[in-house]
């Protein structure tokens, strides 16, 4: 929805006046896309409830509900709520004196329709679910064999009187908004001074971008639906009811349990044979082209080792490469920085338009520049997805080129 539906809806708005027929066809395509996604989502939740959850239950892991808890278990969860959850909650009422707050993309919230005792006027209250907390809380239990977890939204609702005192709660539901990655107000590439400036501005504006979907679970009161539709400027068809709690989109704590029989064996990639035989990756490559197949062939023992050796080799004069994505701790970035600090000519094309990694790539580009790596910020109207690295090495009185193409 963030990528495809957002982009198609932005296209519909741009061409609606100039090409109404194409806009109509695009709208029909978007609707069929949404219907297909809803169908697939329904099947995935059906598999979850009818297959995976019963199998987890048999293995001694139960995702429970408040209704299933004993008095002692509720008492234990009260202590957890008071000490670990309640201090992080902030109910935000929306009325004439308090405008609707900005809701971040994919952030889970609880919605309440409330009214004061003896009053008829309804108000909407939003409680943002803290992202620093696990989505599933283990239920304190004396039974060591059976492990129970309750989702964070249900835990909060168990003690909602603590955060909403002296009001009548008519309806509660969980919801999250999905925003488009396309910014309607962004500058056209030719108007921007440079690509770095353009992408930084696009990331900043993304939190205000159009909402393309609202997913909810629970009792969405008709008044709340109309209220959200008006305040968030969405259409009725943008609402999608999820058959299970939204917390099931992130089953974190149960997955982290160390139960070997429930886990796949850790996959271990192999060092490619040519690199296993020779201590030097450059020497191995000089004997002939080498084909590596990731993840079966080790990336660290081939590509990363190749770049690290090039960065340390005094005979290497130049390294040129393209960078599409890099992890939060990247040996590739470290090798490029090390090579530049060793006095080599290092040029790196960093693709700033790698979807959902734009901000990280900007940070990596700045770090590389600080290490005196020459940075090229992609091409305005193209996306560089190729993975290429070229190493130039002086061997005798000649220059020899080594390359990695992915």
Tally the C-alpha atoms within 13 A of residue 7's C-alpha that lie toward its C-beta: 4
Contacts of 320 (CB under 8 A, 6+ apart): 346, 347, 348, 389, 390, 392
Structure tokens that stand for 264 in this block: 């796949």
Q: Which residues contact 107 (CB under 8 A, 6 or more apart)?
A: 128, 129, 131, 176, 177
pLDDT for the residue numbered 342: 94
The answer to whether the peptide bond before residue 242 is cis (omega within 30 degrees of 0) is no
Of 3.90.78.10, 3.30.870.10, 3.40.640.10, 3.20.20.80, the CATH number of 273-405 is: 3.30.870.10
pTM value > 0.85? no
Structure tokens at 320: 């040129």
Q: What is the DSSP secondary-structure string of 81-111? A: IIIIIGGG--EEEEBTTBPPPP--TT-EEEE
Same fold flag, 4-181+193-262 and 273-405: no
Task: Identify whether the C-beta of residue 94 lies closer than 8 Å to the C-beta of residue 231.
Answer: yes
What is the pLDDT, as a whole number, of residue 183? 67
Provide the pLDDT for residue 193: 47
- On the 0-12 / 13-18 / 19+ scale of CB atoms within 10 A, 225 is middle
Task: Report the alpha-carbon distance of residue 159 to residue 171 in Å, rounded.
Answer: 15
- Nearest-angstrom CA–CA distance, 299 and 290: 13
Per-residue pLDDT of the chain (406 residues; tens, 9 = 90+): 888 888 888 888 778 778 888 888 888 888 888 889 888 888 988 998 899 999 999 999 999 999 999 999 999 999 999 999 999 999 998 876 677 888 888 889 999 999 988 788 899 999 999 989 999 999 997 666 789 999 999 999 999 999 999 899 999 999 999 998 876 555 555 544 477 777 777 777 777 788 999 999 988 999 999 999 999 999 998 999 988 888 777 888 888 888 888 888 888 999 999 998 767 999 999 999 999 999 999 999 999 999 999 999 999 999 999 998 887 788 999 999 999 999 999 999 988 877 777 888 888 888 899 999 999 887 777 888 889 999 999 999 999 999 999 9
How do the domains of the chain map onto residue ranges?
A: 4-181+193-262, 273-405
Selected from 3.30.460.10, 3.30.70.1520, 3.30.1840.10, 2.40.50.90, the CATH number assigned to the domain covering 4-181+193-262 reads 3.30.1840.10
- Confidence at residue 181, expressed as pLDDT on a 0 to 100 scale: 82
Q: Which of 385, 326, 388, 322 is nearest to 357 (CA)?
A: 326
Amino acid 185: pLDDT: 52
Around Cβ 373, how many Cβ atoms within 10 Å? 23
Per 3-state DSSP, the chain is made up of helix, strand and coil in percentages (nearest 5) of 40, 25, 35
Beta bridge partners of 63: 149
> Closest by alpha carbon to 74, among 165, 158, 162?
158
Residue 112 has φ and ψ, to the nearest 5°, of -130, 135
Tell me the catalytic residues: 385
Given a contact cutoff of 8 angstroms between Cβ atoms, the answer to whether 146 and 63 are in contact is no
């Amino acid at each position: 929805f963030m990528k495809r539906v957002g982009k198609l809806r932005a296209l519909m708005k741009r061409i609606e006046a100039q090409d109404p027929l194409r806009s109509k066809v695009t709208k029909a395509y978007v609707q069929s896309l949404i219907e297909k996604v809803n169908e697939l989502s329904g099947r995935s939740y059906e598999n979850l409830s009818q297959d995976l959850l019963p199998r987890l239950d048999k293995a001694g892991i139960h995702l429970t509900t408040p209704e299933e808890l004993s008095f002692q278990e509720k008492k234990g969860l009260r202590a957890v709520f008071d000490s670990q959850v309640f201090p992080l909650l902030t109910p935000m009422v929306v009325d004439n004196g308090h405008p609707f707050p900005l809701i971040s993309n994919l952030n889970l919230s609880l919605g309440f329709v409330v009214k004061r005792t003896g009053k008829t006027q309804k108000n909407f209250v939003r409680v943002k679910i803290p992202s620093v907390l696990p989505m599933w809380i283990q239920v304190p239990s004396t039974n060591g064999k059976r492990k129970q977890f309750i989702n964070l939204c249900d835990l909060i609702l168990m003690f909602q009187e603590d955060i909403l005192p002296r009001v009548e709660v008519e309806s509660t539901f969980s919801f999250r908004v999905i925003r488009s990655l396309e910014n309607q107000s962004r500058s056209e590439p030719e108007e921007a001074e440079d690509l770095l400036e353009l992408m930084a501005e696009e990331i900043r504006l993304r939190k205000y971008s159009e909402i393309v979907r609202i997913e909810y679970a629970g009792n969405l009161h008709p008044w709340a639906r109309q209220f959200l539709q008006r305040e968030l400027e969405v259409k009725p068809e943008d609402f999608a009811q999820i058959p299970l709690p939204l917390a099931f989109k992130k089953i974190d704590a149960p997955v982290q349990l160390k139960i070997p029989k429930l886990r796949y064996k850790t996959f271990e990639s192999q060092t490619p044979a040519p690199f296993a035989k020779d201590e030097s990756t450059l020497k191995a490559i000089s004997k002939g082209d080498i084909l590596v197949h990731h993840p079966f062939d080790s990336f660290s023992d081939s590509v990363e080792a190749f770049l690290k050796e090039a960065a340390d080799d005094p005979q290497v004069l130049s390294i040129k490469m393209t960078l599409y994505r890099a992890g939060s701790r990247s040996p590739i970035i470290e090798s490029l920085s090390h090579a530049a600090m060793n006095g080599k000519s290092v040029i790196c094309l960093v693709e700033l338009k790698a979807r959902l990694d734009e901000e990280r790539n900007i940070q990596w580009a700045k770090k590389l520049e600080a290490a005196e790596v020459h940075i090229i910020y992609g091409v305005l109207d193209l996306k560089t997805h190729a993975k290429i690295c070229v190493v130039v090495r002086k061997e005798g009185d000649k220059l020899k080129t080594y390359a990695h193409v992915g």
